[in-house]
Structure 1
Amino acid sequence: MLWTFVLGLWGLSRQDSVWRDEAATWQVAERSTAEICRMLGNVDVVHGSYYLLMHALFECFGPSITTLRLPSVLATGIAAACVAVIGHRLAGVWVGLAGGMTLGLLPAVQFYLQEGRSYALVAAGCGISTLLLVNSLQRRVRTLYWAAYGSTILLMGLLNWLSLMILAAHLTTLLWTRAGSEIWTRWTTASAAATACVLPLILFSRGQSAQVSWIPPLSWHMMIGPAILMAIGGLGALLDRPRAGQLSVAAIGLPLLAVPHIGLVALSMVQPLFLDRYILYSLLGLALLIGSVVGAAIEAIRPRHPTASKWILPAVVTAAMVALLPQSLTKRSPASRVDDVLAIASDVRRLKETGSAVLFVPSARRDTKSVSPSAFAGLRDIALEVSPEKSGTLKGREASPGHIRAVMLTQRRILLVTDMAQVARPVTAERDKTKTAVLKKYFTPVAEEQVRGRRVTVYERLAPVH
């Protein structure tokens, strides 16, 4: 856990950069509880529990990059601790240590370890619920443990209902280990209760499915990464020498790794949803299985070289750190994300003149203003009709294209905040087409700054429009 905390605190601020997904968390967390609940009726209800949690943290500790990201660091540390305890219980101290230390080194985990979103918290829930399941299978523990198990699954589902696929992974483990009828009864009761509580969220969120319409359809090249992970996990499972009816690292780790991936692939055939972050928690299974590989190596060498065997884990961790160092440094730099809402806000503050107007293309780029309102002080947001807070949305409600055009033609100077050409998507909304067409026809660019995926361009009017 401490090892993972260190990895998380290393470069936590990413040079004071915040990208668009984290900006959504930031701007919503700063709203009142009533405003958040109003927004959830229109958008992002799947993240509602996380937003309310971050709102409470922002109220207690103030809005900052540390407050935004530290919960993910702490949650990943808890997940790593759970992996270590599970590995230790099932296969010995070396497997536990290796698995727990591996988790924080996995590239995907390093990315979301410092992310102001809910995925690391779900991973912590996965670790806790799996540890509770292992306790129950080993010790036939009391009802209190199953209540804790069901509560943890419920919290995971409220943070991201796709995490309920962990139940299918645990079901596979119960089948593998030939669990007794008492275990089956209690697991079914806890799982059904948690699922029933999350079901209203699932049904309501289906009405907001347009939010994920940008996810591309499933293709064969998307399967390359999961296939590699499965191959590594399969090797670990084989070295663990699993047996049917026996609780082992393979019986826990392989279903935890494989089932969420298979489930997400199946769902993506109905509606494109294949994003690795949705099943980040499955990597706890991979870490466990890698731990079994290291443990097998130690056990193979120990009889002949007992002293040397103790240095295998430090050597493996050091080699992994060295091999992954370039990637680790990249993931802790602003360039690791597609854009930076804070960096471009600094340019707006420098380029603005009081009384000038500002436009956003697409309107979602208004997140820069939401996170850094002081940078836009004195600028008129001429396309905005109703603010994000009052409209119950992330980006606000803009006026009609005709109104936007009329107001633009009364301006002398306009700042346009948009994406850099390399990451920009084609303009499709009529309002955005109107903005760009009017700027092109009646205005000329006089200054421009581009930084970390975002661009701000200053336009001045060519001549009065009659």
Structure 2
Amino acid sequence: MSLDERAPTMVRAVSSPVPVHRRSPGPSKTLVVIAPLSLAIALGLWGLRRKNTMWGDESVTYQLAHRDLSHIWSTAQHIDLVHALYYAVMHEIFGLFGGGLLTLRLPSVLAMSAAASGVGLLALRLAGPRAGLLAGLVFPLLPQVQKYAQEGRSYAMVCALVTWATYALVAGVPHRARWRWAVYGSTMLLACLLHEFAVLVLVAHGVTLIVARAPRPVLRAWSVAAAGVVAGLLPLAIHSARQSEQVSWIGGPVRPNYFLVAAVVGMVCALVPLRVRGPVRLSALAVPILVLPGLLLLIASLVKPLFVDRYVVYSNIGFALLLGAGMDYFLRRQRSSRYAWIAAAVVLAALVQPSLSLRTPQSRSNDVTAIGAAVRKEGRPGDGLLYLAGQHRILTAANPEDTRLLTDMALAQDPVSSNTLAGVELPAQEIAARMLEFDRIVVVRAVGVHSLTNPQEEAKTSTLRRHFREYGTTHVNGARVSVYVRDHGMSPKAGPGSDSPGASGEVLR
């Protein structure tokens, strides 16, 4: 074939190049950080006041954070040592920004927002930009994350610290710089000092490194950092173990269903072929964080009940990572984005009802604002005030105006001066004698709580049964507020088995 005969073919080849399919660029790193952060802040601010209500645990934070640091420390020697650092942090925040309801909850909103950004960056590093964006956006949408992002407790801060400690762990594997492991160790220690059960994340991180077959220098660096965390936590753990009666209310696993469902769904997501970037696979990191802390608490609960869902809120980090990477895989498999939009719409529709209900006062186990308002409404100036049991005095302590005109008959020393949560009560005989000085008594009793059997509580219930009758009861979220009036016609010797009016003690069971 001559050169002239080949020329047309060559020209056609040059003029008709094969099109090159370029990979569309994924979301930028800035978007992976900003989008989850913005969504988390928006969801956190939505309905943050919960109709200006507060629940019992938040009330404890509110009361203790308003005390001086010396009083916080003195109180922690008797009770709630495990939360002492959090109360001290909130004390300083109240001093800077005022001690209102928004100030109580805003730190949790900001902490969960920081966690959302961290989750996005983790997924970006392990599975790519789109997986990072999706995981970061999924995280603040999870119902449990929405719930604890709006509570004045330490769990959101712990979740944020665990997130960024995990990021420091992943970043430390390929680089092995000592300062990275120092950051990891100090961040994990701070998380554990805010709540001891954050130490369970160390187990998850260790499993991750073993599964990822990390080099010996990395394992050695992690072991040193983990040992430092345990050593720093040990004094707090030893002293707080003496206050183990604080978790005596846990009769069994509390709200384990969310954890179990999340674990199953996360494990399903881990089965799909996820993208791998770097020495640590996303599933090798996410599955242990999602499963192991909760599983260890459930196993420990066979001996002593310890599982409460909020203690392992940080397991949502692993859940969001797996969901984001699973969604990324689904999108890569679909030629049309129509199905992706349909799936997203279904998920968002399913989250509407939980998101709305979480922002109502009924979403918590009690409402101290409603309890205090009921006491103020039912009580008259000069009435007696009685708590069954005395430890539930905290249910009306957030607003002293609710009980200002009533006389707390059992109180010997107030909570602040006694460095306690609920004050110190009089001996049983004195309580009974003081009760007989009143014709009307307002009684506050928490529902769903086991009755105490100490002499003071027995004296309260016995005196009410013998000498008073129920006049009326107001039921509010988490408590009953009853008014008892003196029945001067009742025999002093009448007991619970008497036929006298009100002797059955129906309200007191």
TM-score strictly above 0.5: yes
Identity %: 36
Could you tell me how far 1:188 is from its partner in structure 2?
Answer: 1.7
CA distance in 2, matches of 1:56, 1:382: 34
Aligned partner letter, 2:461 = T
CA distance in 2, matches of 1:317, 1:398: 56
Please, which of 449, 464, 481 is the counterpart of residue 456 of structure 1? 481
CA distance in 2, matches of 1:244, 1:318: 29
SS for the counterpart of 1:104 is helix
CA contact (8 A) 1:103 1:284 kept: yes
Alignment of 1:244-393 (within 5 A): 246-301=279-334, 304-305=335-336, 308=337, 312=340, 315-393=342-420
After superposition, the C-alpha distances for 1:265-314 in whole angstroms (9 at most, x for unaligned) are 2322332111121111111001100111100011112xx34xx27x83x6
RMSD of aligned residue pairs (Cα, Å) = 2.3
TM-score (norm 2): 0.84
Q: Looking at both structures, which has the greater relative contact order when contacts are Cα pairs under 8 Å and sequence separation is at least 6?
A: 1
Flag the 1:215–1:181 CA change in 2: closer, same or farther, 3 A.
Answer: same
CA distance in 2, matches of 1:354, 1:111: 38
CA contact (8 A) 2:173 2:279 kept: no
Q: Are 2:88 and 1:61 aligned?
A: no
Partner of 2:121: 85
CA distance in 1, matches of 2:401, 2:368: 13
CA contact (8 A) 2:128 2:275 kept: no
Aligned partner letter, 1:450 = H
Partner of 2:457: 432
CA distance in 2, matches of 1:173, 1:192: 17
Where structure 2 has 5 or more consecutive residues not aligned to the other structure, the ranges are 1-36, 493-509
CA distance in 2, matches of 1:380, 1:227: 47
After superposition, the C-alpha distances for 1:229-278 in whole angstroms (9 at most, x for unaligned) are 22211122121458899412112111111221222223223321111211
Flag the 1:317–1:124 CA change in 2: closer, same or farther, 3 A.
Answer: farther
Partner of 2:166: 130
After superposition, the C-alpha distances for 1:321-371 in whole angstroms (9 at most, x for unaligned) are 211211211111111112111112123223333222211111122113321
The answer to which of 350-359 and 75-84 deviates more is 350-359
Please, which of 389, 409, 412 is the counterpart of residue 439 of structure 2? 412
Please, which of 137, 143, 153 is the counterpart of residue 178 of structure 2? 143
Could you tell me how far 1:427 is from its partner in structure 2?
Answer: 5.0
Flag the 1:101–1:244 CA change in 2: closer, same or farther, 3 A.
Answer: closer
Please, which of 53, 56, 64 is the counterpart of residue 17 of structure 1? 53
Partner of 1:156: 191
CA distance in 2, matches of 1:426, 1:61: 39
Could you tell me how far 1:149 is from its partner in structure 2?
Answer: 0.9
Q: Are 2:256 and 1:210 aligned?
A: no
Could you tell me how far 1:224 is from its partner in structure 2?
Answer: 5.4
After superposition, the C-alpha distances for 1:377-433 in whole angstroms (9 at most, x for unaligned) are 12211101111122222111111111100011011222112235xx35445333223
Could you tell me how far 1:207 is from its partner in structure 2?
Answer: 0.7
The answer to which of 229-238 and 22-31 deviates more is 229-238
CA distance in 2, matches of 1:336, 1:446: 30
The answer to which of 451-460 and 63-72 deviates more is 451-460
Structure whose CA Rg is larger: 2
Q: Are 2:155 and 1:119 aligned?
A: yes
Could you tell me how far 1:69 is from its partner in structure 2?
Answer: 1.1
SS for the counterpart of 2:483 is strand
CA distance in 1, matches of 2:69, 2:221: 36
CA contact (8 A) 2:125 2:277 kept: no
TM-score (norm 1): 0.92
Flag the 1:39–1:162 CA change in 2: closer, same or farther, 3 A.
Answer: same
Aligned length: 455
Flag the 1:120–1:317 CA change in 2: closer, same or farther, 3 A.
Answer: farther
CA distance in 1, matches of 2:262, 2:410: 47
Partner of 1:443: 468
